Structure 1
Protein backbone atom coordinates (compact mmCIF):
# COMPACT_ATOMS: atom_id res chain seq x y z
CA UNK A 1 0.00 0.00 0.00
CA UNK A 2 1.41 3.29 -1.03
CA UNK A 3 2.40 6.02 1.35
CA UNK A 4 -0.46 8.05 2.69
CA UNK A 5 -0.81 11.46 1.06
CA UNK A 6 0.24 14.33 3.23
CA UNK A 7 -2.77 16.20 4.64
CA UNK A 8 -3.19 19.88 3.87
CA UNK A 9 -4.97 20.53 7.18
CA UNK A 10 -3.05 21.78 10.18
CA UNK A 11 -4.05 20.58 13.57
CA UNK A 12 -4.57 23.53 15.87
CA UNK A 13 -3.31 23.42 19.39
CA UNK A 14 -3.53 25.75 22.31
CA UNK A 15 -0.22 27.29 21.34
CA UNK A 16 -1.65 28.62 18.07
CA UNK A 17 -3.01 32.09 18.56
CA UNK A 18 -5.35 33.99 16.26
CA UNK A 19 -3.82 35.19 13.02
CA UNK A 20 -5.32 38.69 13.42
CA UNK A 21 -6.54 40.41 16.53
CA UNK A 22 -10.15 41.49 15.91
CA UNK A 23 -11.76 43.88 18.34
CA UNK A 24 -15.21 42.72 19.47
CA UNK A 25 -17.84 44.55 17.45
CA UNK A 26 -15.39 45.71 14.81
CA UNK A 27 -17.14 43.81 12.01
CA UNK A 28 -20.60 45.18 12.89
CA UNK A 29 -19.86 48.82 12.19
CA UNK A 30 -22.25 50.70 9.85
CA UNK A 31 -21.01 51.51 6.37
CA UNK A 32 -21.05 55.14 5.32
CA UNK A 33 -22.38 55.69 1.81
CA UNK A 34 -21.76 59.25 0.57
CA UNK A 35 -24.65 59.03 -1.90
CA UNK A 36 -27.11 58.37 0.91
CA UNK A 37 -25.87 61.16 3.18
CA UNK A 38 -28.65 63.77 3.27
CA UNK A 39 -28.52 67.08 5.10
CA UNK A 40 -31.52 67.53 7.37
CA UNK A 41 -32.97 70.52 9.13
CA UNK A 42 -32.16 70.64 12.83
CA UNK A 43 -35.60 71.97 13.75
CA UNK A 44 -38.03 69.90 11.62
CA UNK A 45 -35.80 67.06 10.30
CA UNK A 46 -36.75 67.56 6.65
CA UNK A 47 -34.10 66.76 4.00
CA UNK A 48 -32.32 69.79 2.54
CA UNK A 49 -30.72 70.20 -0.90
CA UNK A 50 -26.95 70.06 -1.23
CA UNK A 51 -26.76 73.74 -2.18
CA UNK A 52 -28.56 74.78 0.99
CA UNK A 53 -26.75 77.13 3.33
CA UNK A 54 -28.24 78.19 6.69
CA UNK A 55 -29.43 81.80 6.74
CA UNK A 56 -27.44 84.29 8.69
CA UNK A 57 -28.78 85.80 11.89
CA UNK A 58 -31.14 88.64 11.08
CA UNK A 59 -31.78 91.76 13.07
CA UNK A 60 -34.99 92.33 15.03
CA UNK A 61 -37.65 94.45 13.38
CA UNK A 62 -37.84 96.71 16.43
CA UNK A 63 -35.49 97.51 19.29
CA UNK A 64 -35.75 96.33 22.85
CA UNK A 65 -36.93 99.78 23.99
CA UNK A 66 -39.43 100.32 21.15
CA UNK A 67 -42.46 99.57 23.32
CA UNK A 68 -44.22 102.77 22.27
CA UNK A 69 -44.33 101.61 18.64
CA UNK A 70 -47.25 99.30 19.46
CA UNK A 71 -49.58 100.87 21.99
CA UNK A 72 -51.78 97.80 22.47
CA UNK A 73 -48.95 95.43 23.37
CA UNK A 74 -47.32 98.14 25.50
CA UNK A 75 -50.42 98.60 27.68
CA UNK A 76 -51.02 94.83 27.87
CA UNK A 77 -47.43 94.19 28.87
CA UNK A 78 -47.51 96.96 31.47
CA UNK A 79 -50.74 96.03 33.25
CA UNK A 80 -51.22 92.34 32.27
CA UNK A 81 -47.83 90.87 31.29
CA UNK A 82 -49.13 87.36 31.95
CA UNK A 83 -51.69 87.74 29.14
CA UNK A 84 -49.06 89.02 26.73
CA UNK A 85 -46.74 86.14 27.61
CA UNK A 86 -49.55 83.63 27.05
CA UNK A 87 -50.28 85.09 23.62
CA UNK A 88 -46.61 84.90 22.66
CA UNK A 89 -46.39 81.23 23.64
CA UNK A 90 -49.61 80.43 21.78
CA UNK A 91 -48.26 82.09 18.63
CA UNK A 92 -45.09 79.98 18.79
CA UNK A 93 -46.80 76.72 19.77
CA UNK A 94 -50.27 76.55 18.28
CA UNK A 95 -51.08 73.34 20.18
CA UNK A 96 -50.52 75.12 23.52
CA UNK A 97 -53.40 77.35 24.69
CA UNK A 98 -52.48 80.75 26.05
CA UNK A 99 -54.20 80.16 29.40
CA UNK A 100 -51.63 77.70 30.81
CA UNK A 101 -48.53 79.93 30.40
CA UNK A 102 -50.62 82.92 31.45
CA UNK A 103 -51.55 81.31 34.77
CA UNK A 104 -47.96 80.17 35.41
CA UNK A 105 -46.66 83.67 34.70
CA UNK A 106 -49.29 85.22 36.98
CA UNK A 107 -48.44 82.88 39.87
CA UNK A 108 -44.66 83.23 39.77
CA UNK A 109 -44.11 86.76 38.45
CA UNK A 110 -47.14 88.78 39.52
CA UNK A 111 -47.53 86.69 42.68
CA UNK A 112 -43.87 87.16 43.55
CA UNK A 113 -44.10 90.91 43.04
CA UNK A 114 -47.20 91.07 45.26
CA UNK A 115 -45.45 89.03 47.96
CA UNK A 116 -42.36 91.26 47.79
CA UNK A 117 -44.53 94.39 48.09
CA UNK A 118 -46.43 93.00 51.06
CA UNK A 119 -43.18 92.00 52.76
CA UNK A 120 -41.74 95.49 52.23
CA UNK A 121 -44.88 97.13 53.62
CA UNK A 122 -44.98 94.87 56.68
CA UNK A 123 -41.25 95.15 57.29
CA UNK A 124 -41.69 96.27 60.88
CA UNK A 125 -44.13 93.49 61.74
CA UNK A 126 -42.17 90.60 60.22
CA UNK A 127 -38.99 89.20 61.64
CA UNK A 128 -35.91 90.45 59.71
CA UNK A 129 -34.66 86.89 59.22
CA UNK A 130 -38.00 85.85 57.71
CA UNK A 131 -38.02 88.89 55.44
CA UNK A 132 -34.54 88.15 54.15
CA UNK A 133 -35.50 84.52 53.56
CA UNK A 134 -38.57 85.62 51.58
CA UNK A 135 -36.54 87.99 49.41
CA UNK A 136 -33.91 85.34 48.73
CA UNK A 137 -36.59 82.91 47.63
CA UNK A 138 -38.19 85.55 45.40
CA UNK A 139 -34.82 86.42 43.89
CA UNK A 140 -34.18 82.75 43.07
CA UNK A 141 -37.69 82.37 41.59
CA UNK A 142 -37.18 85.45 39.46
CA UNK A 143 -34.05 84.02 37.88
CA UNK A 144 -35.72 80.65 37.28
CA UNK A 145 -38.63 82.39 35.56
CA UNK A 146 -36.13 84.37 33.52
CA UNK A 147 -34.56 81.13 32.31
CA UNK A 148 -37.98 79.75 31.29
CA UNK A 149 -39.11 82.88 29.49
CA UNK A 150 -35.64 83.12 27.93
CA UNK A 151 -36.14 79.68 26.39
CA UNK A 152 -39.32 80.95 24.77
CA UNK A 153 -37.38 83.88 23.35
CA UNK A 154 -34.66 81.50 22.13
CA UNK A 155 -37.31 79.41 20.33
CA UNK A 156 -38.51 82.58 18.60
CA UNK A 157 -34.95 83.41 17.55
CA UNK A 158 -34.44 79.94 16.08
CA UNK A 159 -37.72 80.12 14.20
CA UNK A 160 -36.93 83.43 12.48
CA UNK A 161 -33.10 83.19 12.65
CA UNK A 162 -32.78 86.26 14.85
CA UNK A 163 -29.60 87.36 16.55
CA UNK A 164 -29.10 87.83 20.28
CA UNK A 165 -30.18 91.39 20.93
CA UNK A 166 -28.95 93.00 23.07
CA UNK A 167 -27.54 89.88 24.83
CA UNK A 168 -28.41 86.32 25.79
CA UNK A 169 -32.20 85.61 25.88
CA UNK A 170 -32.20 84.58 29.54
CA UNK A 171 -30.28 87.69 30.60
CA UNK A 172 -32.66 89.87 28.58
CA UNK A 173 -35.69 88.49 30.42
CA UNK A 174 -34.01 88.64 33.81
CA UNK A 175 -33.04 92.30 33.39
CA UNK A 176 -35.67 93.69 30.99
CA UNK A 177 -38.59 91.26 31.19
CA UNK A 178 -41.43 93.63 30.24
CA UNK A 179 -39.53 95.19 27.34
CA UNK A 180 -38.60 91.71 26.06
CA UNK A 181 -42.23 90.56 26.10
CA UNK A 182 -43.34 93.59 24.08
CA UNK A 183 -40.48 93.18 21.59
CA UNK A 184 -41.29 89.51 21.03
CA UNK A 185 -44.97 90.30 20.49
CA UNK A 186 -44.15 93.03 17.98
CA UNK A 187 -41.75 90.70 16.16
CA UNK A 188 -44.27 87.90 15.77
CA UNK A 189 -47.00 90.34 14.83
CA UNK A 190 -44.82 91.88 12.11
CA UNK A 191 -43.66 88.50 10.79
CA UNK A 192 -47.18 87.16 10.54
CA UNK A 193 -48.39 90.27 8.73
CA UNK A 194 -45.54 89.97 6.21
CA UNK A 195 -46.33 86.34 5.53
CA UNK A 196 -50.00 87.04 4.91
CA UNK A 197 -51.20 87.10 1.33
CA UNK A 198 -51.35 90.63 0.05
CA UNK A 199 -53.52 89.76 -2.93
CA UNK A 200 -56.50 87.44 -2.89
CA UNK A 201 -57.58 85.52 -5.96
CA UNK A 202 -61.31 85.39 -6.52
CA UNK A 203 -62.46 82.27 -8.29
CA UNK A 204 -65.96 82.38 -9.73
CA UNK A 205 -67.87 79.14 -9.67
CA UNK A 206 -69.16 77.85 -13.00
CA UNK A 207 -72.85 78.38 -13.72
CA UNK A 208 -75.21 75.69 -12.54
CA UNK A 209 -76.41 73.49 -15.36
CA UNK A 210 -79.89 72.07 -15.05
CA UNK A 211 -81.33 69.26 -17.13
CA UNK A 212 -84.83 70.03 -18.33
CA UNK A 213 -86.98 66.96 -18.98
CA UNK A 214 -88.64 66.83 -22.40
CA UNK A 215 -92.41 66.63 -21.90
CA UNK A 216 -93.21 66.36 -25.59
CA UNK A 217 -92.94 63.30 -27.80
CA UNK A 218 -90.02 62.64 -30.09
CA UNK A 219 -89.93 64.22 -33.50
CA UNK A 220 -91.62 61.78 -35.90
CA UNK A 221 -89.19 62.58 -38.70
CA UNK A 222 -86.19 61.76 -36.50
CA UNK A 223 -87.77 58.57 -35.19
CA UNK A 224 -88.73 57.43 -38.69
CA UNK A 225 -85.24 58.03 -40.05
CA UNK A 226 -83.78 56.10 -37.13
CA UNK A 227 -86.12 53.17 -37.72
CA UNK A 228 -85.49 53.12 -41.48
CA UNK A 229 -81.77 53.10 -40.85
CA UNK A 230 -82.06 49.90 -38.81
CA UNK A 231 -84.84 48.18 -40.80
CA UNK A 232 -83.10 48.64 -44.13
CA UNK A 233 -80.72 45.76 -43.43
CA UNK A 234 -80.90 42.66 -45.66
CA UNK A 235 -80.10 39.13 -44.64
CA UNK A 236 -78.18 37.02 -47.13
CA UNK A 237 -77.81 33.29 -46.93
CA UNK A 238 -74.27 31.97 -46.76
Structure 2
Protein backbone atom coordinates (compact mmCIF):
# COMPACT_ATOMS: atom_id res chain seq x y z
CA UNK A 1 0.00 0.00 0.00
CA UNK A 2 1.56 3.28 -1.12
CA UNK A 3 0.95 6.22 1.16
CA UNK A 4 0.81 9.76 -0.21
CA UNK A 5 2.17 11.70 2.76
CA UNK A 6 1.66 15.13 1.18
CA UNK A 7 -2.10 14.71 0.68
CA UNK A 8 -2.62 13.65 4.31
CA UNK A 9 -0.91 16.56 6.06
CA UNK A 10 -3.85 18.78 6.91
CA UNK A 11 -5.37 17.22 10.03
CA UNK A 12 -5.00 14.51 12.64
CA UNK A 13 -6.33 11.11 11.55
CA UNK A 14 -8.33 10.77 14.80
CA UNK A 15 -9.51 13.24 17.38
CA UNK A 16 -7.84 13.69 20.74
CA UNK A 17 -10.68 11.99 22.60
CA UNK A 18 -10.97 8.99 20.27
CA UNK A 19 -8.37 7.11 22.29
CA UNK A 20 -10.59 4.05 22.59
CA UNK A 21 -10.41 3.38 18.84
CA UNK A 22 -7.66 0.80 19.33
CA UNK A 23 -8.36 -1.14 22.55
CA UNK A 24 -4.85 -2.59 22.90
CA UNK A 25 -3.17 0.82 22.61
CA UNK A 26 -5.77 2.28 24.96
CA UNK A 27 -5.16 -0.27 27.72
CA UNK A 28 -1.38 -0.26 27.39
CA UNK A 29 -1.33 3.54 27.46
CA UNK A 30 -3.55 3.80 30.51
CA UNK A 31 -1.67 1.07 32.38
CA UNK A 32 1.90 1.65 31.22
CA UNK A 33 2.17 4.96 29.34
CA UNK A 34 5.96 4.61 29.24
CA UNK A 35 5.56 1.80 26.68
CA UNK A 36 3.39 3.81 24.30
CA UNK A 37 5.55 6.90 24.74
CA UNK A 38 8.75 4.93 24.13
CA UNK A 39 7.35 3.50 20.89
CA UNK A 40 6.30 6.93 19.65
CA UNK A 41 9.57 8.60 20.65
CA UNK A 42 11.78 5.97 19.00
CA UNK A 43 10.06 6.52 15.65
CA UNK A 44 9.86 10.30 15.96
CA UNK A 45 13.55 10.65 16.84
CA UNK A 46 14.39 8.37 13.91
CA UNK A 47 15.91 5.61 16.01
CA UNK A 48 18.54 7.76 17.71
CA UNK A 49 17.45 6.26 21.04
CA UNK A 50 15.59 3.05 21.74
CA UNK A 51 12.05 2.64 22.97
CA UNK A 52 13.53 1.33 26.23
CA UNK A 53 15.72 4.42 26.74
CA UNK A 54 12.83 6.81 26.09
CA UNK A 55 10.52 4.78 28.32
CA UNK A 56 13.05 4.66 31.13
CA UNK A 57 13.63 8.42 31.05
CA UNK A 58 9.85 8.92 30.92
CA UNK A 59 9.45 6.75 34.05
CA UNK A 60 12.12 8.75 35.87
CA UNK A 61 10.24 11.95 35.02
CA UNK A 62 7.00 10.34 36.23
CA UNK A 63 8.44 10.24 39.74
CA UNK A 64 8.30 14.06 39.78
CA UNK A 65 5.19 14.33 37.55
CA UNK A 66 7.09 15.97 34.67
CA UNK A 67 6.72 13.26 32.02
CA UNK A 68 4.18 15.38 30.16
CA UNK A 69 6.89 18.01 29.46
CA UNK A 70 9.10 15.41 27.81
CA UNK A 71 6.14 14.00 25.85
CA UNK A 72 5.04 17.40 24.56
CA UNK A 73 8.40 17.88 22.83
CA UNK A 74 7.84 14.70 20.85
CA UNK A 75 4.30 15.73 19.97
CA UNK A 76 5.75 18.94 18.54
CA UNK A 77 8.26 16.92 16.48
CA UNK A 78 5.50 14.57 15.26
CA UNK A 79 3.36 17.52 14.18
CA UNK A 80 6.33 19.00 12.31
CA UNK A 81 6.94 15.68 10.52
CA UNK A 82 3.43 15.67 9.06
CA UNK A 83 2.39 19.32 9.14
CA UNK A 84 -0.33 18.68 11.70
CA UNK A 85 -2.12 21.51 13.48
CA UNK A 86 -1.62 22.36 17.12
CA UNK A 87 -5.11 21.26 18.11
CA UNK A 88 -7.18 21.54 20.20
CA UNK A 89 -4.51 23.65 21.97
CA UNK A 90 -0.71 23.80 22.17
CA UNK A 91 1.27 20.61 22.67
CA UNK A 92 2.14 21.13 26.33
CA UNK A 93 -1.47 21.90 27.28
CA UNK A 94 -2.64 18.77 25.46
CA UNK A 95 -0.17 16.59 27.37
CA UNK A 96 -0.78 18.32 30.69
CA UNK A 97 -4.57 17.98 30.52
CA UNK A 98 -5.10 14.83 28.44
CA UNK A 99 -1.80 12.98 28.52
CA UNK A 100 -3.04 9.44 27.86
CA UNK A 101 -5.38 10.60 25.11
CA UNK A 102 -2.51 12.52 23.48
CA UNK A 103 -0.30 9.42 23.51
CA UNK A 104 -3.08 7.31 21.97
CA UNK A 105 -3.66 9.95 19.29
CA UNK A 106 0.05 10.16 18.44
CA UNK A 107 0.38 6.36 18.30
CA UNK A 108 -2.66 6.16 16.01
CA UNK A 109 -1.26 8.92 13.79
CA UNK A 110 1.98 7.05 13.26
CA UNK A 111 0.04 3.91 12.35
CA UNK A 112 -2.18 5.90 9.99
CA UNK A 113 0.91 7.33 8.29
CA UNK A 114 2.27 3.83 7.64
CA UNK A 115 4.60 3.40 10.62
CA UNK A 116 4.41 0.55 13.10
CA UNK A 117 5.38 2.08 16.45
CA UNK A 118 5.34 -1.38 18.04
CA UNK A 119 8.28 -2.34 15.81
CA UNK A 120 10.14 0.91 16.42
CA UNK A 121 12.43 2.57 13.93
CA UNK A 122 13.07 -0.67 12.03
CA UNK A 123 9.32 -0.95 11.41
CA UNK A 124 9.29 1.99 9.00
CA UNK A 125 7.56 1.61 5.66
CA UNK A 126 10.02 0.80 2.89
CA UNK A 127 9.24 3.88 0.79
CA UNK A 128 9.30 6.42 3.60
CA UNK A 129 11.86 9.24 3.13
CA UNK A 130 12.92 9.03 6.78
CA UNK A 131 13.96 5.39 6.40
CA UNK A 132 17.59 4.88 7.41
CA UNK A 133 19.85 3.90 4.50
CA UNK A 134 20.15 0.18 3.99
CA UNK A 135 23.55 -1.44 4.20
CA UNK A 136 23.99 -3.67 1.17
CA UNK A 137 26.63 -6.35 1.11
CA UNK A 138 29.13 -6.30 -1.70
Runs of 4+ residues deviating >6 angstroms: none
Q: Quick one: which of 34, 46, 64 aligns to 2:16? A: 64
Aligned counterpart, 2:57? 104
Aligned counterpart, 2:3? none
Asked whether the equivalents of residues 58 and 70 of structure 2 are also in contact (C-alpha less than 8 Å), the reply is: no
2:64 matched to 1:155?
no
Q: Which one scores higher on RCO, CA 8 angstroms, separation ≥ 6?
A: 2
Asked whether the equivalents of residues 82 and 105 of structure 1 are also in contact (C-alpha less than 8 Å), the reply is: yes
Greater gyration radius? 1
Aligned counterpart, 1:205? none
Give the alignment's Cα RMSD to 1 decimal: 2.3
Aligned counterpart, 1:91? 43
Deviations 1:128-175 (A, max 9, x none): xxxxxxxxxxxxx53xx3332111000000000000111000111011
Q: Tell me, in whole angstroms, the C-alpha distance in 1 between the residues paired with 2:125 and 2:54.
A: 27
Aligned counterpart, 1:182? 104
1:1-238 maps to which residues of 2 (within 5 A)?
A: 58-93=10-45, 94-109=47-62, 111-112=63-64, 141-142=65-66, 145-192=67-114, 196=125
TM superposition score normalised by structure 2: 0.72
Deviations 1:102-139 (A, max 9, x none): 01111222x34xxxxxxxxxxxxxxxxxxxxxxxxxxx
Asked whether the equivalents of residues 82 and 102 of structure 1 are also in contact (C-alpha less than 8 Å), the reply is: yes
More helix per residue: 1 or 2? 2
Asked whether the equivalents of residues 146 and 171 of structure 1 are also in contact (C-alpha less than 8 Å), the reply is: no
Q: Tell me, in whole angstroms, the C-alpha distance in 2 between the residues paired with 1:65 and 1:147.
A: 20
Q: How far did residue 101 of structure 1 move?
A: 1.2
Q: Tell me, in whole angstroms, the C-alpha distance in 2 between the residues paired with 1:172 and 1:70.
A: 20
For structure 2, list consecutive stretches of 5 or more residues without a partner in the other structure: 1-5, 116-123, 127-138
TM superposition score normalised by structure 1: 0.43
